[in-house]
Copies of this chain bind each other. A is one copy, B any other.
């Protein structure tokens, strides 16, 4: 608070901050200046505010409305900047998870959820199979799992596009998910819809629900708090800059309520990392202001869309007797169920014999991040994977 007041009113000398200035600019080593000529001293080595740069937060909020028209007339908080999206998950867990909370999550899912919610805070962890028998989203699994939760507090992980499957619910599935959540809230459960939108915008099929499910949850029920985690990580192809956002909404929450929750999240950020990277935030802000920005993003997305089509084409033309591609329509990944094959054995063979690195999830799934190879390499890559799987039948029973 004292530093904020000084930033506004210390017109002559501001000697509040633990930094070194020279001629009123942060003292930056020339060895660094040359590397980041596009950023001034103040834009790179100075501290960012704990909750992030105001201008970036405002612009991100405006962007959320553009990307999610459903948010247009809905009240939601000014996004806080987290040190990456994982840090956003941590902040939410810090505020809301404990031993009296159940996390409801599809399997497979990204393992960091379990590390953060289960290992760190001791939350109950109730999994349901991601897919139904039609390779679509398993609404019944979600509903049944929620209905058997013993705790009052439930955190429902909604990570779409989903890691590792690369699946995003279709519009009707998204609505059905919301109905399940609303019913639970109506039944008196204290619901938190954790919308991890890391892969937002990487949508490769028309019938996908093209907004964040956060937009549907934001005014769903007074017993449901919606949290949106997103960031530059995937949306702006800036994984290593560590710039994420945390945004809150909920039916009946006034500006004051949202400020209070945001204040608690701010305290969590402060007591975990102090603040996120200034350089990362400024790079994002400046990129967003650059005239070519939208076109460059569109080009990158259409490049990825071509790769998706190549993957889709390959798996359609080459049904494999042991590798079953799970439903995928978005994001970076394709997950295959390995029938009769131990996915770990397949991964090992691909790596050792073919120099191909993939991720085995348990013994049953192999994840391929097709986003890592160019379009012309898609068919050769999958041809190798298909061939490697031949002859491994019987390694899993």
Residue ranges of A at the interface with B (Cβ–Cβ < 8 Å): 2-3, 5-7, 9-23, 26-32, 34-39, 44-48, 83-84, 86-87, 90, 112, 115-116, 119-120, 163, 234, 236-242, 267, 270-280, 283, 286-288, 290, 292-293, 296-297, 300, 303-304, 332-333, 347, 351-352, 354-360, 368-374, 377, 381, 384
* Chain B residue at smallest Cβ distance from A347: B2
A239–B46 Cα distance when bound, in Å, is 6
Number of copies: 2
By beta carbon, the residue of chain B nearest A377 is B13
Q: A16-B358, A35-B283, A272-B273 are in contact. List 5 more A-B contacts (CB 8 A).
A: A5-B351, A18-B234, A242-B273, A272-B272, A279-B279
Does A26 contact B351, Cβ atoms closer than 8 Å? no
Cα of A27 to Cα of B233 in the assembled complex, Å: 12
Q: Name the 10 nearest CB pairs between A and B, nearest first.
A: A6-B357, A35-B38, A240-B278, A10-B357, A86-B274, A11-B355, A31-B290, A31-B287, A12-B355, A14-B357
Q: Which of B273, B351, B355 contacts A84 (CB 8 A)?
A: B273
Closest CB in chain B relative to A86 CB, distance in Å? 4
Q: How far is the CA of A280 from the CA of B282 in the complex (A)?
A: 13
* Pairwise interchain contact B267-A115, C-beta atoms closer than 8 A: yes
17 inter-chain pairs at a CB distance below 8 angstroms, sorted by A residue, are A15-B369, A16-B372, A18-B333, A19-B369, A21-B373, A22-B374, A23-B374, A29-B300, A31-B288, A32-B236, A34-B38, A35-B38, A47-B239, A83-B87, A87-B272, A112-B274, A115-B267
Q: Are A15 and B372 within 8 A (Cβ)?
A: yes
